[in-house]
Amino acid sequence: MFRLYKEVEFLPELFLVGEEEQDDGKMVVKEEERENEDKFQEERSLIIEEAKRKAQEILEEAESKRKEIEDRARREGLEEGRRIGREEVHKEWQEKVAVWEQELLEIYNYREEMIEKMKEPLLELSFVIARKIIEREVEREPFIERLVEKALKKLSNRGRVVLRVSEEEYNLVREIREELMRKIDGIDYLEIQEDHRLKRGECLIETAFGSIDARIDTQLENIKEELFQVLEEGTSA
């Protein structure tokens, strides 16, 4: 900060304004000297005024420089404060993000570990539940009808078809033979056979182009494979 003096008074009596002589106790001033004195006083006043003007200009320039420096210092200080603040905030957020990333990594690892541990128990539990559901559905009267109809619709070449069912459901399926042929297009011949290897709610379909295995154990194995695939996809996600 500059220390400035607003007023400048620095011109004391620098010059003698005349020469005094005593003549019988009285001051005598020559006319020529008086003229010189008046001229000198005029020049002195001009010098003083010019000095004051120059001094005022110096003061104003100094004040302007002071304000300019103060403003620049204030701006630079604010900018430095903002920069430091931004750096501190950025550093703080980087630290927080690092902590969050570590926590997420720990959660992910824990999830992977738990999925791996629970994979087999979940598969077995799902397998048991699926078996119970299928066995319960088998006891319902229309189950074999829906099963046979669904299996026949999967055939791409239907022509001559042999349908094998359990001894328990053989007569029931024979009764709906004509209805099945009406519902499903493309079947030229449908032969119903009983198979002692099959349980209630199971069937085998054979054609010249291939076969469909609709036994309960086969369905459960398919379900198990699908569940295993779902768990594998969940693990890799």
Looking only at the bridges linking them, the beta strands covering 160-165 and 189-194 are parallel
Residue 32: what residue type?
Answer: E
Query: For the chain, which residues make up each domain, given as ranges?
Result: 29-138, 142-236
Residue 204 above 80 pLDDT? yes
pLDDT at 198: 94
- Which run of H or E residues covers position 23? strand 22-23
Average pLDDT over the chain, rounded to whole? 75
pTM across the whole model: 0.47
Q: CA 199, 203, 208: angle at the middle one, nearest 5?
A: 145
Confidence of residue 82 (pLDDT cuts 50, 70, 90): low
User: For 100-129, what is each residue's pLDDT tens digit?
Assistant: 888 888 888 887 787 777 777 877 887 788
Q: What percent of the chain has pLDDT over 90?
A: 19
Confidence of residue 39 (pLDDT cuts 50, 70, 90): low
More confident residue, 156 or 54: 156
For the domain covering 142-236, report its CATH number.
3.30.2320.30
Q: Which long-range contacts (CB under 8 A, 24 or more apart) does 227-230 make?
A: 227/122, 227/123, 227/126, 227/127, 228/123
Q: Which residues contact 233 (CB under 8 A, 6 or more apart)?
A: none
- How far are the Cα atoms of 120, 134, 135, 137, 209 from residue 131, in angstroms, in the given order? 16, 5, 6, 10, 30
Under a CB-based contact definition with an 8 Å cutoff, are residues 193 and 162 in contact?
yes
- Rounded to 10 deg, the angle between the 216-236 and 31-138 helix axes is 170
Residue 76 above 70 pLDDT? no
Residue 205 CA to residue 183 CA, distance in Å, equals: 17
Under a CB-based contact definition with an 8 Å cutoff, are residues 178 and 203 in contact?
no
pLDDT at 26: 44
